Chains A and B, each alone.
Chain A
Amino acid sequence: MTTAAELLAGIPELAGAEPVTRVTIPARLEYTHTPGSAQTRFLTALPDKRLLAERCPQCTRVYVPPRGACPTCGVATTEQLELPHTGTVTTFCIVNIAAKGLNIEVPYCYAYVLLDGAHVGLHARVGDVPYADVRIGQRVEAVWNEERLGPSLASISHFRPTGEPDADPESYRRWM
């Protein structure tokens, strides 16, 4: 394959010039993000430490956070209900690799927490427990980030074990 240097060699004015092979082209676009009605309802309840879920009028499944539609029925979820701050770990991993921009100290436990009464797992950290002791089925409760309560999921610092016995696998088997 031809190179830039070979092409330049044929042009007297440029013969021998150090060829450009790469160029850095920064780009910046500014957006204003709005999360929509359903997520706004959920987010604005977080500063009050309220976990606002929404129920599908057709299949009655409970979504938290709600995203505006029941994804299996394709209809708006408009009935709100408040969920307790407790739930069950349905699966998890231990993250040992720091990701640029995430600003979370590694290692940490990233888990799906099925809040009591919900039918989808909330993605959250599990802490205040040695990672070797985190289990599928473990009962956990929300720890709020008192300094950073606001309309963001960052209001929940993490979940920690409640010390209750593990949940019956049948209670969460379908709702990982």
Chain B
Amino acid sequence: MSKQPVAVVGVGQTKHVAARQDVSIAGLVREAAVRALADAELTWADIDAVVIGKAPDFFEGVMMPELYLAEALGAVGKPMLRVHTAGSVGGSTALVAANLVAAGVHGTVLTVAFEKQSESNAMWGLSLPVPFQQPLTAGAGGFFAPHVRAYMRRTGAPDTVGSLVAFKDRRNALKNPYAHLHEHDLTLEQVQTSPMLWDPIRYSETCPSSDGACALVLTGDSGAARAPRPPAWVHGGAMRSEPTIFAGKDYVSPQAGRDCAADVYRQAGVTDPRRQIDLAEIYVPFSWYEPMWLENLGFADQGEGWKLVEAGVTEMDGDLPVNPSGGVLSSNPIGASGMIRFAEAALQVRGLAGEHQIDGARRALGHAYGGGAQFFSMWLVGSERPDH
């Protein structure tokens, strides 16, 4: 049983901002979907099914909002699936959609992920007052800060590495018109002296809270042949999960992440990711996660990720650019953030990334993670149709 090849022929996203006060929830997801359809030069009638993803329903205070979004996404009379795998959901949603094409179930699928955090407050949604617990942190920063410290301790990385990543991603974001944060005057010194929120994580090393949506149109061989612009081909895609908390969990480099990457590389025939992959869009909500994931993803040896950062390898002009879009550090509509990584990887290999295009990008990794660093979803896209 061989899978059908899957191509990304449409990409759309909203301008990510703190609060999209001009649109309803439907209006927000619609905007991304319309842009993806326009990119593919397709109409609603061309779409066979819709796969939608977002993080917890409490973020907008609508239970299973896809029910109310059926009309906005042209899904009436069609199949509609709703995925929720915590922070990795944007990636997982794209993979579920891709599988519909790969399995030959549908010809052309629209997939959308979103978060409209301004409707409520992510801190609130993440910190519902569950009895008998003694919550010690609110939101993700406090949760992940001890893992960052463990990484620093384990690798001996100097404490300046996080600020280098943050400064790089914020500067990259200036080239991305959809990015939330456009901090034109930001200096490295400002990053390094910004307030310490959850020591060792500084304010400027954390992601913003955004309203935003992202959409992709996925199709097979015949759809790709009709596409007006170059498609991005899916060379490999995988999800892996491990428990939230368990004896022996490696929070710094979770096994699920390593296994997920290995599966994707196997599918894509990648044996040396550092050389064979041209760039990566990695889910980095706190700057230190860039060196951590570089190791987890096999781009650097254990303990060496921070050295790539220091050497400028992950800069836009380095030999492994990471997050040329500005990444999660510059835009974080939580449920959409993973799909944005996948979408940006696709834009790069299509040569359509605009000002933040990496010249000659032929293979790019899109990565997302979520939960207690336990859910991973990744895909590797390329400019060439896979030959399997």
A interface residues (Cβ-Cβ under 8 A, vs B):
1, 3, 21-22, 25, 27, 33, 35, 39, 43, 59, 61-63, 67, 70-72, 90-97, 99-102, 104, 107, 110-112, 119-120, 123-125, 131, 136, 151-154, 156, 174-176
**Residue of chain B at shortest CB distance from A43:** B132
CA gap between A110 and B137 in the complex, in Å? 8
Q: Which chain A residues lie closer than 8 Å to B200 at the CB level?
A: 93
B1 contacts chain A at the CB level, 8 A cutoff: no
B199 close to A (CB within 8 Å): yes
Determine if B139 and A99 form an interchain contact, defined as CB atoms under 8 angstroms apart.
Answer: yes
Q: What is the minimal beta-carbon distance from B12 to any residue of chain A, in angstroms?
A: 15
> B247 to A61, Cβ gap below 8 A?
yes
A51 to B145, CA, bound (A): 26
Are A111 and B195 touching (Cβ within 8 A)?
no
Q: Given contact pairs A67-B245, A107-B199, enumerate 18 new A-B contacts (beta carbons under 8 Å).
A: A39-B132, A71-B246, A72-B243, A91-B153, A93-B198, A96-B196, A99-B123, A101-B129, A102-B138, A110-B146, A119-B248, A120-B246, A123-B136, A124-B136, A125-B136, A131-B199, A175-B247, A176-B251
Question: Which residues of chain A come closer than 8 Å to B201, judged between CB atoms?
Answer: 93
Q: Which of B131, B134, B146, B199 contacts A111 (CB 8 A)?
A: B146
Cα of A91 to Cα of B66 in the assembled complex, Å: 40
How far apart sit A151 and B147, CA to CA, in the bound complex (Å)?
A: 29
Q: Please, what's the 1-or-0 string for B121-141, where 1 marks a CB less than 8 Å from any CB in chain A?
A: 001100101111111111101
Using Cβ atoms and an 8 Å threshold, which residues of chain B touch A71?
A: 243-246
Q: Is there contact, CB below 8 Å, between A136 and B135?
A: no
**A120/B153 in contact, CB under 8 A:** no
Size class of the B contact interface (CB-based, 8 Å): 35 or more
What are the residues of chain A within 8 A of B133 when measuring CB–CB?
152-153
B199 to chain A, nearest CB (A): 4
Which residues 111-126 of B sit at the A interface, judged by CB distance below 8 A?
A: 123-124
- Docked Cα-Cα span, A176 to B142, in Å, equals 16
Known contacts A72-B247, A104-B136, A110-B136; is-contact A91 B197 (Cβ 8 Å) = no
Cβ contact within 8 Å between B198 and A119: no
Tell me if B189 counts as interface (CB < 8 A to partner A): no
| The 6 residue pairs across chains A and B that have the minimum distance between CB atoms | A99-B138, A71-B243, A93-B145, A119-B247, A94-B199, A61-B247
Main secondary structure of the interface of B (DSSP, over half): loop
Chain A residue at minimal CB-CB distance from B148: A93
The answer, among B124, B136, B137, B150, for a CB contact under 8 Å with A176, is B150
Chain A residues positioned under 8 Å from B226 (CB to CB): none
Question: How would residues 236 to 258 of chain B score, 1 for a CB under 8 Å from any chain A CB and 0 otherwise?
Answer: 00000001111111111000000
Contact status B198-A96, CB under 8 Å: yes
Q: Which residues of B contact A153 (CB under 8 A)?
A: 132-134
Query: Distance (Å) between the CB of A93 and the closest chain B CB?
Result: 3
In this assembly, does B149 line the interface, its C-beta being within 8 Å of a C-beta of chain A? yes
What 1/0 flags go to B149-189 for Cβ under 8 Å of A?
Answer: 11001000000000000000000000000000000000000
Q: Is the CB of A35 within 8 A of B132?
A: yes
A28 to B: closest C-beta gap in Å:
11
9 of the cross-chain contacts (CB-CB < 8 Å) are: A33-B130, A35-B132, A91-B150, A92-B146, A93-B148, A93-B201, A96-B196, A101-B127, A125-B136
User: A125 — which chain B residues lie within 8 A by C-beta?
Assistant: 136
Distance in angstroms from B138 CB to nearest chain A CB is 3
A99 to B136, CA, bound (A): 9
Given known pairs A43-B132, A110-B136, A176-B150, the reply for A120 and B198 (CB within 8 Å) is no
Residues of A within 8 A of B150 (CB): 90-91, 136, 176
The closest CB in chain B to the CB of A72 belongs to B246
Contact of B137 among A95, A107, A152 (CB under 8 A): A95
B209 CB to closest chain A CB, in angstroms?
14
Considering the chains assembled together, what is the distance between the CA atoms of A125 and B127 in angstroms? 17
In the complex formed, the residue of B with least CB distance to A135 is B153
CB neighbours of B248 from chain A (8 A): 61, 72, 119, 174-175
B245 and A33: CB pair below 8 A?
Answer: no
8 Å CB interface, B192-231 against A: 195-201
Q: Which residues of A contact B243 (CB under 8 A)?
A: 71-72
Which residues of A sit under 8 angstroms from B271, Cβ to Cβ?
none
Q: Which residues of B contact A1 (CB under 8 A)?
A: 22
List, in ascending order, chain A residues with CB within 8 A of B21's CB: 21-22
**Beta-carbon contact of A99 and B137 below 8 Å:** yes
- In angstroms, how far is the closest chain B Cβ from the Cβ of A170? 14
* A96 CB contacts on chain B under 8 angstroms: 195-199
A21-B22 in contact (CB<8A): yes
Residues in chain A near residue B127, CB distance under 8 A: 99, 101-102
The answer on a CB contact under 8 Å between A95 and B129 is no
The residue of chain B having its C-beta at the shortest distance from the C-beta of A109 within the complex is B199
Q: Which A residue's beta carbon lies closest to that of B120?
A: A27
CA distance A146 to B243 in the complex (A): 34
Closest Cβ–Cβ distance, residue A160 to chain B (whole Å): 16
> Would you call A63 and B247 a contact (CB within 8 A)?
yes
Instruction: Contact check, A110 vs B142: say whether CB atoms are below 8 A apart.
Output: yes
**CB closest residue in chain A, given B119:** A25
Separation in Å of the A144 CB from the closest CB of chain B? 13
- Asked whether A101 and B138 contact (CB < 8 A) given A43-B132, A136-B150, A176-B251, the answer is yes
